[in-house]
Structure 1
Amino acid sequence: MSALALPHSERVRLLRALGVQPLALRRVAQATQRAPTPATPIALQAQQPAASLSAPRPGVATPADGLALIVLLPTGAATDPRQQALLRAALLCLPAALQRAPCIEFSTLDEALPAAAAYLVLGSAARTALGRLLPLDHQASALIEHADAPAEMLAQPARKRALWRALKALRGRHTRSA
């Protein structure tokens, strides 16, 4: 019996009986469809600290500001189309709230880095910049996942494994906290 010859309802019933969860691709109308552009670096604006005893540093957002994830990129990753495609595909594996994460090239940062619940750091230079720019209390409370730079992943596909592990950890942390 071929799967192509079965009616859709029968095919779904058999898949469920086998313990397979059938998935359906949802289609969005062309007029309302918005393609995500996660690899576009954002411009950081210095924020005014709140007038309180525990005011954050100027330029550092608090996790209450709504940033669940920030992707920290090496220099040039946001302009290369192949690296953008890799980042876009990787971020699409995450829940919808994390797919809209801002991507920031560390070379555009001077002393302002928004605080977030999680950071995906790509490349060793970006990891060094994160350690230098993020306060220790934010480092201790945030989930920081590291993977190789996108250019290195494209050169050696075996290096993507660390990226998928990092994405799995981010996805798991997000589903536990949601």
Structure 2
Amino acid sequence: MTGERYTIEIEPEVRLRLEDLPAHHYVIVEQKVDRLAENPTTLGEPYTRHLSGKLRELRFDLGGSAQGGTVVNHAEWKTRRHRKLLGEEVEENPEYDRLYEEAELAHDLGQLVYDRRTALGLSQTELAERCGMKQPQISRIEGGGTVPTIPLLRRLARALDAELTIELTPHTQAA
């Protein structure tokens, strides 16, 4: 975390759309909101866009169609993770935790691809051509909408003039 954790206010029409989401999409949205709450001034493209003052637009992909809504860094919505951080009682839900971790991994991989692509000065279309894909697929990966397979990660790494390194590290145990 980079400093104070912000709480998030969501516009009423966005809140209505959230209530209609399937559970696995809702978890993706919560993960993106947590990222914004923890990095309100530094979480940038492709996930948020600064509108004015403390107003940011949060963008995310839910299965191929870009979704989003305007949110303000200050007031109402507490994600499940935020409630835990505040010491509030939160029910155990292993499926939610699994989906949240998957959304976090998709976000992290997407950020790595975005950072490397922009460092090389490539457009999404140029990267897609380099690795035999279509631009919307690159957009979905960068937006954290999917976890790429290992063969796809290998193709992306080659197209980005990068090495793919996968590492397993043991969990540290508390003393």
Shorter-chain TM-score: which interval? under 0.3
Larger fraction in helix:
2
Which structure's CA Rg is the greater one? 1
TM-score scaled by length of structure 2? 0.26
TM-score scaled by length of structure 1? 0.25
Larger fraction in strand:
2
